[in-house]
Structure 1
Amino acid sequence: MLKKEKSIFVFKFWLPVIIWMSVIFYFSHKSNLVIGFEGDREFLARKFAHICEFGLLAIFFIIFLVKGCSRKTPSVFLSAFLLTVGYAISDELHQTFIIGRSGNIKDVLVDSLGALLFLQVIAFGLFAKKRIALLFSILGNILAILLLLSVMMQEIIEKKAMINDTEKIYMEAEEKVEEALSKEDASDKLVSEKKKNISEDRAKSDPLEIAIPEKILLPVPFSSQAPKAVWDEVHEEACEEMSLIMVKYYFDKKNLPPSVAEEEIQRMKDYQLKRNGHYIDSDMKELAAMAKEYFKFKDVFVKYDITREDIFEALAKGSPVIVPTAGRLLGNPNFTGLGPLYHNLVIIGFEKDEFIVNDPGTRKGKHYRYKINILMNAIHDYTGSKKEIEKGRRAGIIFPMKK
């Protein structure tokens, strides 16, 4: 075979390897890839994808080595396995440079075991007539499956432990709130009475004041702070901006599709970089200033030491309320891990003992409900340090009906 023809021949079998490696690289480069499952089903689906990706890569390596390089069959299995493991390691290293993702040594093990499993299946077919080789192939398959199950079970256990930690924090927050409420001699009945008293007092002092009903839900449009599900550094820090954007579009009576929400976030980021030199972590004073300067709200103000009654009154007048929170005290199961240390959201209504919010920290944040006592306990303004967020003063931004 001529040298040129040989090069073309080799490339023909090398091309599938390159294409498949590129496919793996592409999906690894995607931040917060959504696959349509939740919980343990999502975890298992992701691991199954890892197994198949690198199992197929190992097979492509075998085809290349046998057909393209004329390597002898017994040695190609080890070579294909080592090449696949090498690429699995590089893939996890690559993910450490992707914002919103992180490398995981356990995924290298899953990828490697997936490759081993696929290679053992091929070996089983090739050496079915050789008893010793067949025995090794069967034992290899069993070992690979057992190791895979072991790794996956360990990760599931760790994930459950993380969820339990979140629930523990949630329960501790509830206990703190209940203790505070008992000291204040407050209850759900008292909340209802206070709302009624506020309505009566306002009506007596000013007949134009709006009475506070038993339920309010303002039609504030919703978007998560990552409208296109890309949780990079910008979008991880965009809860303040998205809270303000939702309020702006509420007053403008406009819809907020993902493409528009994304454009608004980027413009606000650029504005803050120019104005403040950064776009990360704004306290309520800074956010109110941005509402006035950027969105031209005239009478927006920060209400410090805000109470639930203040929020009821603002909502009754048609004003959403942006509040800063110690995010991990919220106990939202839709947050990643324990949740953000500092997080902003928009209160858009209430019913019985619950506030209704648009929470930009999750794609399931539209009309999300928090117990009033839980949310009030979590409200803390940014102090300059996320680690000291629970020392922050209680505050909220209230908007007039006109801007």
Structure 2
Amino acid sequence: MKKFIYWVPALVWMGIIFYSSSTPYEEQNVKPLLGNWFDLSGLIPLFEGFSFTYHYSEVSVESRGIAGFIEFFIRKGAHVTVFLVLTVLIYYAIRKTTRETFQWSIIIAWFATLVYAISDELHQGITPNRTPYYGDVVLDGIGGLIAVMLISLVYYFRYRNQR
């Protein structure tokens, strides 16, 4: 039972992700904040000709306005960051509560993160004004891979002198 405490941060983080996925888009919209608090007009010339499609919609300054364009990258960056943190927390819990090797711990942590990312997108499918999209799972997985690389670097530098 004492070992359960190591899983609390990961479970709390999963709860935060679940809560965030339960919140309709309108309640998470940061465009008004960006537009009201910051003068983003100076960024328009930098991104004016930049355009791509994500989940069947155009992402550009022309289609979303500068605040919507910036918000898109904030939201997608949040996907990467949130699931990077989740991978680290799961890895930590595994290392503290099992006898798995470093390699298996990191593989299990990344796989568990992917499974949770998939379940998160499925959950968004039943949340009003939210839509599931596999592209977000890819971003979540990239966040997990960045965590794997960071954990591996720390592991390498910490234990290289012991070999």
Q: Same fold (TM over 0.5)?
A: yes
Question: What residue is the counterpart of 1:100 in the other structure?
Answer: 129
Structure 2 counterpart of 1:23, one-letter code: I
Alignment match, 2:9: 16
Q: CA deviation at 1:39?
A: 2.0
> What is the CA–CA distance in structure 1 between the aligned matches of 2:101 and 2:5, rounded to whole Å?
19
Residue matched to 1:294 = none
List runs of 5+ in structure 2 lacking aligned partners.
35-66
Q: How far apart in 1 are the matches of 2:70 and 2:153?
A: 30
- Please give the residue correspondences for 1:265-304 in structure 2 after superposition, counting only pairs within 5 Å: none
Q: How many residue pairs end up in the alignment?
A: 123
Q: What SS class does the counterpart of residue 99 from structure 2 fall into?
A: coil
Aligned to 1:64: 93
Q: For 1:4-83, what aligned pairs fall within 5 Å after superposition?
A: 7-8=1-2, 10-32=3-25, 33-35=28-30, 36-37=33-34, 38-83=67-112
Q: Within 5 Å, which residues of 2 pair with 1:201-240? A: none
1:105-132 residue CA offsets vs partner (Å, 9 max, x unmatched): 00000000011012201111211376xx
Which of the two has greater strand per residue?
1
User: Runs of 5+ in structure 1 lacking a partner?
Assistant: 1-6, 131-403
Counterpart residue type for residue 81 of structure 1: W
Distance 1:19 1:125 in 2: 24
1:69, distance to aligned residue in structure 2 (A): 1.9
Structure (1 or 2) with the larger CA radius of gyration: 1
Deviation for aligned residue 1:71: 2.0
- Per the alignment, in what secondary structure is the counterpart of residue 74 of structure 2? helix
Give the secondary-structure state (helix, strand or coil) at the position aligned to 1:103.
coil
Q: Cα deviation per residue 1:240-298 (whole Å; 9 max; x = unaligned)? A: xxxxxxxxxxxxxxxxxxxxxxxxxxxxxxxxxxxxxxxxxxxxxxxxxxxxxxxxxxx
Letter of the 2:85 partner, please give it. Answer: L
Instruction: From 132, 144, 151, give the equivalent of 1:122.
Output: 151
RMSD: 1.3
Determine the C-alpha separation between the residues in 1 that align with 2:154 and 2:5.
25
SS at match of 1:127: helix
Percent identical residues: 30
In structure 1, give the amino acid aligned to 2:134.
Answer: I
Q: 1 CA distance for matches of 2:123 and 2:24?
A: 12
Taking the TM superposition and a 5 Å limit, the aligned residue runs for 1:284-363 are none
